[in-house]
Amino acid sequence: MIVLDTHVLVWWTSGLPSQLSTAARRSIVDSDVVAFSAVSAWEVGILGSRGRIDLHLDIHDWLREVMEVHSLAAVPVTLDVAIRASELHDILRDPIDCLIAATALTHDAPLVTKDDRIRRSGVVATIW
């Protein structure tokens, strides 16, 4: 299992895989389970509603389509994820980054991310 950061989820599913590193693309193709945190659904919805990304669909239909087409799994924000995320706040600062990193940690999965702060922090195994 691997967990995709929000920007990786958008790039992979929006026909922009060239934005991803070779290692990131390979990990997505080779992984038996490719997942994303449910909080990424919130983040994509906000980005779409603000016009920062064009989903071409409402968030519900977009998520349903990308999950089916790309065989992605949505991982819920559980109590364990929330507690672990609170422990990462002093390091990562951004609450969404904390929740996404905590999702990967809780599921003992690497996080596919370009985010330098997360990668440099060493709090979670990353692929880029």
Q: Check which CATH number belongs to the domain holding 11 and give it.
A: 3.40.50.1010
CA distance 40 to 109: 16
- Domain span including residue 14: 2-127
Position 4 scores a pLDDT of 98
Contact 87, 30 (CB under 8 A): no
Report pLDDT for 15.
82
pLDDT in the model for residue 125: 98
Q: Which residues lie below 8 Å from residue 111, measured CB to CB, with a gap of 6+?
A: 2, 3, 4, 5, 100, 101, 104, 118, 124, 125, 126, 127
Digitized pLDDT (tens) for each residue of the chain, 128 residues in all: 999 999 999 999 988 788 999 999 999 999 999 999 999 999 999 999 999 998 888 999 999 999 999 999 999 999 999 999 999 999 999 999 999 999 999 999 999 999 999 999 999 999 99
For residue 85, the model assigns a pLDDT of: 98
Q: What is the pTM of this model?
A: 0.94
Number of independent structural domains in the chain: 1
